[in-house]
């Protein structure tokens, strides 16, 4: 093992997480309530819980597209719940449309949560998502009630700030730094949009997806941006696609036949190893470990 070379970009990957993102990993620190899997056969090691604690089970989410010659199939699934919770979509304006936040929330509320609660009674689901715009969408009647007048018409940012005593003459609606998404915690009043975004009620507003999950009594977290290595389902997709490449001629009819089989081809032991590797990445980030020790630390 000591002779195995470190990938050229490995240390850059480990260093490419700022302090705020490392702090975000605290939201992922539910391990003590979760089952662990160790050994060659990934044997189940149950958590040691207090009498009033409940076991937490990670339900990670992602999308994957399998391409054919002139079409594609969008598939969304968690490998730890029955395939009945899968949602298949043939995306495109002239096909089945596109996957939206409404589709996802419906999938969670009508399929994922009911199936989870049937399979794992007295457990809590920890739903984990990436930071896509779909996952951050708000309900139509969310906090933005404060942004409209009595007739339901938008007040505008200026009026909202005036009502809160935060308006300053000459304040721009947006600034270039915010448009460029330049992170700077000291920049708090550069433009109207920035000031509003930092107001406590706006910061506390949860997305429609998170609200739906919390209302059902479960937990919802979001992975740090641009760190797909923390979501083990990415490796699951990779294994499924490898099977598809070896068993599919990539015509549309062949994809329809092979994709479901490919998704079932990844065995439970391998999925557990993928999950263990993702948790090892999180531990490395929390402890600031880089270089060869980090490379060895995440090896399956």
pLDDT at position 85 is: 58
CB count within 10 Å of CB 145 equals 8
Q: Rounded distance, CA 254 to CA 96, Å? A: 19
HSE, side-chain direction, 13 A CA sphere, residue 159 = 8
Choice between 168 and 21, residue whose per-residue pLDDT is larger:
168
Q: Are 221 and 126 within 8 A, CB to CB? A: yes
C-alpha 241/C-alpha 261 separation (Å) is 11
**Other C-beta atoms within 10 Å of 150: how many?**
5
* Percent residues over pLDDT 90 in the chain: 19
Residues 6+ apart with CB under 8 A from 124: 33, 54, 55, 56, 57, 217, 218, 219
Q: What pLDDT was estimated at residue 183?
A: 76
Environment class of 84 (CB within 10 Å of its CB; exposed 0-12, middle 13-18, buried 19+): exposed
pLDDT value at 176 more than 80: yes
Arithmetic mean of pLDDT over the chain = 77
What is the per-residue pLDDT for 272?
Answer: 92
Residue 248 has pLDDT above 50, yes or no: yes
d(CA 126, CA 178): 32
At 76 the pLDDT is 47
With a cut of 70, say whether residue 33 has pLDDT above it. yes
The confidence score (pLDDT) of residue 12 equals 52
- What is the length of the chain? 300
Q: Which of 75-79, 106-110, 154-158 has the lowest mean pLDDT?
A: 75-79
pLDDT band at 2 (very low <50, low <70, confident <90, very high): very low
The model's confidence at residue 158, banded by pLDDT at 50, 70 and 90, is confident
CB atoms within 10 A of CB 94: 5
Backbone angles phi and psi of 224, in degrees to 5: -55, 145
**Mean pLDDT computed over 260-276:** 91
At residue 57, the pLDDT reads 94
b/e map 161-174, b = 16+ CB within 10 Å? beeeebeeeebeee
pLDDT value at 175 more than 50:
yes
Could you tell me the CA-to-CA distances from 288 to 13, 18, 284, 285 in Å, in that order? 12, 10, 6, 5
Residue position matching structure tokens 């329809």: 256
The top-scoring range by mean pLDDT among 153-162, 171-180, 209-218, 240-249 is 209-218
Q: Show the 3-state SS of 45-79.
A: ECCCCCCCCCCEEEEECCEEEEECCCCEEEEECCC
The more confidently predicted of residues 278 and 100 is 278
Could you give all domains of the chain from N- to C-terminal order, each with its CATH number?
19-144+206-287 (3.30.420), 154-204 (no CATH)
User: Is pLDDT at 1 greater than 50 in this prediction?
Assistant: no
Nearest to 37 by CA among 271, 286, 238: 271
Half-sphere exposure of residue 279, counting CA atoms within 13 Å on the CB side? 17
**What pLDDT score does 81 carry?**
43
Tell me what the mean pLDDT of segment 127-132 comes to: 82
| 62-71, 133-142, 239-248: range with lowest mean pLDDT | 62-71
State pTM to two decimals. 0.69
Cα three-residue angle 248-249-255, rounded to 5 degrees: 55
Write the pLDDT tens digit of every residue in 51-97. 889 999 999 876 676 665 433 444 444 444 444 555 555 555 555 55
Residue 191 φ/ψ, nearest 5 degrees: -160, 170
């Amino acid at each position: 093992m000591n002779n195995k070379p470190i990938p050229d970009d490995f240390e850059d990957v480990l260093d490419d997480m700022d302090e705020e993102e490392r702090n975000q990993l605290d939201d992922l620190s539910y391990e003590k309530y979760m089952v662990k899997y160790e050994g060659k056969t990934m044997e189940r090691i149950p958590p040691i819980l207090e009498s009033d604690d409940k076991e937490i089970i990670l339900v990670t989410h992602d999308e994957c597209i399998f391409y054919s010659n002139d079409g594609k199939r969008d598939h969304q699934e968690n490998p730890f719940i029955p395939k009945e919770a899968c949602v298949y979509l043939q995306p495109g304006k002239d096909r089945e449309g596109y996957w939206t936040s409404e589709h996802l929330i419906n999938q969670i509320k009508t399929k994922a949560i009911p199936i989870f609660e049937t399979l794992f009674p007295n457990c809590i689901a920890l739903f984990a998502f990436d930071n896509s715009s779909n996952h951050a969408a708000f309900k139509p009647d969310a906090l933005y009630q404060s942004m409209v007048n009595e007739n339901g018409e938008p007040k505008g940012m200026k009026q909202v700030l005036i009502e809160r005593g935060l308006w300053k003459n000459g304040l721009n609606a947006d600034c270039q730094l915010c448009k460029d998404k330049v992170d700077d915690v000291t920049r708090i009043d550069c433009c109207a949009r920035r000031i509003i975004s930092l107001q406590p009620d706006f910061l506390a507003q949860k997305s429609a997806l998170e609200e739906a999950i919390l209302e059902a009594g479960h937990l919802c977290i979001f992975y740090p941006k641009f760190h797909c290595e923390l979501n083990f389902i990415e490796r699951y997709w990779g294994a499924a696609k490898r099977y598809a490449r070896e068993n599919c001629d990539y015509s549309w009819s062949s994809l329809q036949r092979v994709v479901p089989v490919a998704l079932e081809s990844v065995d439970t032991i391998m999925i557990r190893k993928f999950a263990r590797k993702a948790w090892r990445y999180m531990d490395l980030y929390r402890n600031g470990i880089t270089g060869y020790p980090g490379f060895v630390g995440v090896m399956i």
